Amino acid sequence: MLKVKTSILLKLIVYAFHLPLYLISLLIPKNKNIWIFGGWFGEQYSDNTKYLFEYINKSHPEIKAIWLSKNKAVINLIRNKGFKAYYCYSIYGYLYSALAKICIVNIGIGDVNNFIPPPIIINLWHGIPLKKIGYDDAISNSKIDKYKDLKKFLFPFIRYREDVKLATACSEEDQSHLSTALKIPKECVKITGYPRNDNILVSTNQKILEYNVSYLPTFRGGINDKIDLFSNFGFDIIKWNNELDKLSIFLNIKMHPVNKPQDRLLEEFKHCKNISFLDEIDVAELLPNTQILITDYSSVFFDYLLMDRPIIFAPFDYERYILKDRELYYDYNEVTPGPKCKNWDEVLEWIERFKNNPALYAEERRKVKDRFHKYQDGKSCERVYKEIDKLMKG
């Protein structure tokens, strides 16, 4: 209890310190050609914001695109690419936040500078919703914030989901879901396709030297929780490594950005030459190098459908998941075009089957792909830019 009270007190002190800075920022004229970008709570350079950021830098030099981050490694990476990046709470971080008219994120204002929000916030989001999200998620949002209006009155720089001016979607169905999840009018959610999928479509036919299978499970528990999705579902490390070696297949495991693998698992998998945990890699760069995708309830499979490659579904804990973690927007079996495995042995069997015949489930994949992707042309960045430009002129 003492720790909670101390944390709240520190937060109030930080907020009170930033209130004058926010009020001063309101007096600074906004520049329509300064756009700030960020992603994943300011910790990662990935996802839709990354690909729109690079598109703007290369195709619209009249716009000064600035990436803000809380991660120094990310800042150095972006600067080495020749782009502008600053620490969120540096002098330049505050300055560009105050000057910018446009702010582009994929989670929320916490992706950039929490305390100096530009007037127009664009949320590109981070996946076609399979699971209920935002205000639609009754499990995670069971408690109503009774002090929301008071918080915004005392600290007017606070921004909530509904404060975005524009969000992006891939189809009419997820347009509707994002509208209710973010509590914004449907006309503020534009069907453009996701910027990251431009990279996936461009890379579909590239030559791949190794046969890679990637396991990308969805988010579980809390932020930075260490998750074990193997021990309880019959995963035999020795058997898997031997079978993968026989098939000349490499298994890449990429946890959700806010989850971590348990230390014990990292140690055990360290000795497997055909199995690896990946951490920093961008999913939009991993998918083009993946011949078979394994997932459970992650919306990553919607993106992967654009490549017309096999998908294995591993909903081992389905009943518990939809009861304790998230409800789904859809009937799971209706929108998941691939085998539904009950344990890791079945997954291994399907890896071999799909390697021998990747056309299995091809028609089912096509139907779901066409349902959830209005655009499949690699021009999503261009459409997003046009929608933002239209918003500024309107």
Residues 6+ apart with CB under 8 A from 74: 43, 44, 45, 67, 85
- The vertex-84 CA angle with 78 and 90, nearest 5°, equals 100
State both tokens at 15: 């907020």
Provide the residue type at 88 as one letter.
C
- Residue recorded with tokens 């919607």: 302
CB 277 within 8 A of CB 269: yes
Q: What is the pLDDT of residue 354?
A: 96
**pLDDT for 263:** 62
pLDDT digits (tens, 9 = 90+) for 349-358: 999 999 999 9
pLDDT at 50: 97
Question: Residue 181 pLDDT more than 80?
Answer: yes
Percent of the chain with pLDDT over 70: 89
What pLDDT does residue 1 have? 54
Instruction: Identify the residue with better confidence: 219 or 382.
Output: 382
Q: By the 8 A CB rule, do 284 and 196 touch?
A: yes
Q: What is the average per-residue pLDDT within 136-160? A: 81
Can you give the pLDDT at residue 13?
87
**162 vs 4, more confident:** 162
C-beta separation of 208 from 246 below 8 A: no
Per-residue pLDDT tens digits for 102-116: 999 999 999 999 999
Pick from 149-158, 171-180, 382-391: least confident: 149-158
Q: How many residues does the chain have?
A: 394
Q: What local confidence, expressed as pLDDT, does residue 260 receive? A: 62
328 exposed, middle or buried (CB, 10 Å; 0-12, 13-18, 19+)?
middle
pLDDT digits (tens, 9 = 90+) for 9-61: 888 888 888 999 999 999 999 999 999 999 999 999 999 999 999 999 999 99
Residues 198 and 376: beta-carbon distance below 8 Å = no
pLDDT band at 231 (very low <50, low <70, confident <90, very high): low
- Smallest CA-to-CA distance from 123 within 172, 181, 43 is with 181
pLDDT of residue 221: 60
pLDDT tens digits along 52-62:
999 999 999 99
| Confidence (pLDDT) at 255 | 74
Give residue 125's pLDDT band: very low, low, confident or very high (50, 70, 90).
Answer: very high
CA 289, 290, 292 angle in degrees (round to 5)? Answer: 165
| Interval 263-297: pLDDT, tens | 666 666 667 777 777 777 788 888 999 999 999 99
Q: Which residue pairs, CB below 8 angstroms and at least 24 apart, start in 185-189?
A: 188/164
Structure confidence by residue, pLDDT tens digits, 324-348: 878 999 999 999 999 999 988 999 9
What local confidence, expressed as pLDDT, does residue 303 receive? 95
394 SS3 class: coil
Model pLDDT, residue 258: 61
CA distances from 381 to 27, 205, 267, 365 (A): 32, 20, 40, 24
Q: Which residues, other chains included, contact 355 with Cβ-Cβ below 8 Å and sequence gap of 6+?
A: 211, 247, 249, 291, 292
Tens of pLDDT, residues 236-265: 878 888 888 898 988 888 876 665 666 666
The SS3 call for residue 65 is: strand
Q: How does the average pLDDT of the chain come out, rounded? A: 88
Q: Which residues are CB-neighbours of 62 under 8 A, at least 6 positions away?
A: 33
Closest C-alpha among 193, 179, 222 to residue 384:
193
- What is the pLDDT, as a whole number, of residue 227? 55
**The one-letter amino acid at 134:** G
Identify whether the C-beta of residue 294 lies closer than 8 Å to the C-beta of residue 108. no
